[in-house]
Amino acid sequence: MTSADGTLIAYDRHDGHAGTVILIGGAFSYRKFPKMVALAETLNEQYGLTVLNYDRRGRGDSTDSAGDYDIAREIDDIAALVEAVGGSAMLFGWSSGAALALRAAGSGRIPGITKVVAFEPPFVVDHEGFVPAADLETTLRDLVAADRRADTVRFYLTKAMGIPRAMVSVMRFTPFWKNLLATANSTPHDWVVMRDFMRGDPLRAEDWTTVKAQTLVIAGAKSDTLLRKGAQAIAAVLPDAELQEIPNLNHNPNITLLAPAAGEFLTGTAENTN
């Protein structure tokens, strides 16, 4: 699919009969990431949804526009996907992808978004824990411009996501490290989505009044306190939202725990069984 600025967006489509949902991954995520694949297959096979699982610009098989880090372009990509399925769709976003889904729904540019599932958008709403540095974006863009992928991964994981340096050092020896390197240069897109909401300030209701879609915010009971606080905060300020905290779930989710909450909400079966 071709987006408004000519960027090519790659996606996999699983056809169903119970409505359409577009999956939006977070930082370093891509459509072939095993848990994104598992989520797409589960929502299709168990809930009958048509699922579009796509590579956000700059990762996987999607192209990018050099140096163009503008959330409007990512919203254009989602708008093109919604148009490709007939003008109406629901969104499921994970991490920074959840914030992107909410910002797309509130942009006023995609009226066909009917529901949103936001899984742990990483809003930083106080100064009690990790808060990214104010000058993060400059360093991040410089690293990407120099194509220093390993340094970009380490920098983003530690400085933007707050993962301990020792844990990141261990990650270098896992098979997944090569995938982080492959998607490293797309991280400025994630930062542009998140930067205004990771300063340690409370979320303001007036920033989210245009999100008219019915929304389910999901948090994992085993996730970091920062993520659970962020989920609670956004659920409290959205016009039409509910919060569900799932036992035994964390930010690296067990899809068998995550998919039922999402699938039931998206298809309306949760309401039908109450």
For 152-189, the DSSP string reads: HHHHIIIIIS---HHHHHHHTTSTTHHHHHHHGGGHHH
Q: What is the pLDDT of residues 136-151, one digit of tens each?
A: 999 999 999 999 999 9
Q: Which of 61-75, 108-122, 233-247 has the lowest mean pLDDT?
A: 61-75
Query: Is 6 inside any structural domain?
Result: no
Q: Could you give the CA distance from residue 249 to residue 255 in angstroms, rounded to a whole number? A: 9
- Please check whether residues 116 and 229 belong to one and the same domain: yes
Domain coverage including residue 98: 11-124+202-272
Question: What pLDDT, on a 0 to 100 scale, did the predictor assign at position 270?
Answer: 67
Query: Is 197 inside any structural domain?
Result: no
Hey, CA dihedral for 133, 138, 142, 147, is it positive or negative?
positive
Residue 137, H or E segment: helix 136-145
> With 70 as the cut, is the pLDDT of residue 273 above it?
no
Identify the band that residue 66 occupies on the pLDDT scale cut at 50, 70 and 90. confident
Whether pTM exceeds 0.85: yes
User: Could you give the percent of the chain with pLDDT greater than 70?
Assistant: 98
Q: What is the pLDDT of residues 79-89, one digit of tens each?
A: 999 999 999 99
Query: Is 147 inside any structural domain?
Result: yes
- Please check whether residues 215 and 112 belong to one and the same domain: yes
User: Could you give the percent of the chain with pLDDT greater than 90?
Assistant: 95
Domain count for the chain = 2
- Please check whether residues 75 and 104 belong to one and the same domain: yes
